[in-house]
Structure 1
C-alpha cells in the first residue's frame, strides 16, 4: 500500500510516518519545506495556504491513502484547517486517491448529548481556537458529497510524547476516559490506531476517537 502523509515534519505527522515505515508500506512525505524531512523517503511539496486543484493532484498522484496532519496554531491561521479538508475532498479524486484519514481534535467529542468538550467551562482557553477549527473540519467531512472515503480520527483530550503504554480503545462521538477518569493516549499509540485504520478501513465516512 502506498500512503502519503501531509504534515510529515510535524510531531504527530512524523510519528505516523514512522509507524507507516515500520510496517513496510511505501510512504511519501508531503510537506511545505522538503529540507525539513529527515527520513530517507520520497518527498513532495505542497503549500496548503495557496494550493490549487493541480497542486493537490500532483502531490498525491498514485497514492492509495492520504493521512493529513495539519493545524493553524503556529501561524494562528486556524481557518486553514477546514479549508484544507474541503480542498482535499474536492481534488483528491483527480489524483486517483480514494481515501483520506484526518488527524482531528478532541474538542468536538460529546461529554453529554449535544454538549461538546470544547464548550465546557473547563476547556483550556489557549486551545479553544484550534479545537473549534477542528470541529469546523469535521462539519466539512460530514456534509461532503465527495467520492473520497474519509475517516476523522480524534485523539484523547491529552496526547503526549512517549511509546506505547497500553492497548488503545476506539470510540465514536462520545468522550470517554480510562479507569482513573483520564482521557489520554501516547502519540505512538495514536499513530498505531491511525495506521491500523489505514490498513483495515473499518470506519469509512465516520469519526472515531482513540484513548486508553
Structure 2
C-alpha cells in the first residue's frame, strides 16, 4: 500500500512513518520542508495545509491512504486542526483516495456518561486548547459524508516515549484505564495501533481509543 503521512517529521508522525515502512508499505512524507526528510528510501513531497485544494490534490497523486498527524501547538495556531480536517476530507475526495486516519486527542473521550476528560478539574490547563481543537476536528469528521473512509484514533491520556510492547486495547468513546487506574500508551505502540488499523480497516467512520 502507498501511504502518505502528513506531519511525518513530527514526534508521532515519524513513528507512524517508520512503522509503516518497516511493514513493507511504500511511504510518502508530506511535509512543509522536504529537506528535513533524510531517509533516501522515503519519498518526500512538499505539502502545505494552507494551500488551495487543487495543490493539495496534486501532492496526493498516486497515494492509497493518508495518515495525518497535525497539531497547532508549535505555532500557537490551534484553528489549523479543524481546518486541516475539512481540507483533507475535501482533497482526498477529489483525489479519489478513500482512506484517512487521524491522530486524535484524548480530551474528548468520556470518563463517565456525558463527562469528557477535558471537563474534569485534573485536566492540565496547558493542553486544553489542543484538546478542544481535536474535539472540533472530530466533529468535522462526524458531520462529513463525502465517501472518504476515516478513522479518528485517540491515544491514551498519557502518550510517552517507549519501546513497542505490542500489547494494547481498543476502545470507543470511553477513556481506557488499566488496573491501576492509569491511561497510558507508548508512542511506539500507538504507531503500531495506527498501522494495524490502516491494514485491518476494522473501524471505518468512527473514533477509537488505544491504551494499555
Alignment partner, residue 20 of structure 1 = 20
Q: CA deviation at 1:165?
A: 3.0
Q: Which residue of 2 aligns with 1:89?
A: 89
Indicate whether 1:58 and 2:63 are aligned: no
CA-atom RMSD, angstroms? Answer: 0.9
Aligned to 1:139: 139
Q: Structure 2, unaligned stretches of length 5 or more?
A: none
How far, CA to CA, are the matches of 1:158 and 1:166 in structure 2?
17
Q: Secondary structure at the match of 2:15?
A: helix
**More divergent stretch after superposition (155-164 vs 35-44):** 35-44
In 2, the alpha carbon distance for the partners of 1:130 and 1:73 equals 7
CA distance in 2, matches of 1:5, 1:175: 26
Superposed displacement of residue 38, structure 1? 2.4
Check the 8 A contact 1:7/1:68 in 2, yes or no.
yes
- Check conservation: 1:105, 1:154, Cα contact below 8 A: yes
Give the secondary structure class of the aligned counterpart of 1:145.
coil
Per-residue CA deviation, residues 71-118 of structure 1 (Å, 9 max, x unaligned), is 000111000000000011112122221100000000000011111100
Matching residue of 2:100: 100
Task: Give the aligned partner of residue 38 of structure 1.
Answer: 38
Structure 1, 86-95 or 198-207: larger mean CA deviation: 86-95
Deviations 1:121-157 (A, max 9, x none): 1000000000000000000000002211000000000
Offset of residue 37 of structure 1:
1.1
Unmatched tracts of structure 1, length 5 or more? none
- Report if aligned partners of 1:30, 1:44 keep a CA contact under 8 Å in 2: yes
Q: TM-score, normalised by structure 2?
A: 0.97
Deviates more, 1:86-95 or 1:138-147: 86-95
- Partners of 2:63 and 2:92 lie apart in 1 by 10
| Partner SS state of residue 118, structure 1 | helix
Note the alpha carbon deviations across 1:2-24, whole angstroms, 9 max, x for none. Answer: 10000000000000000001000
Alpha-carbon distance in structure 1 between the residues aligned to 2:118 and 2:24: 37
Runs of 4+ in 1 over 6 A off after TM superposition: none
- The more displaced of 70-79 and 31-40 is 31-40
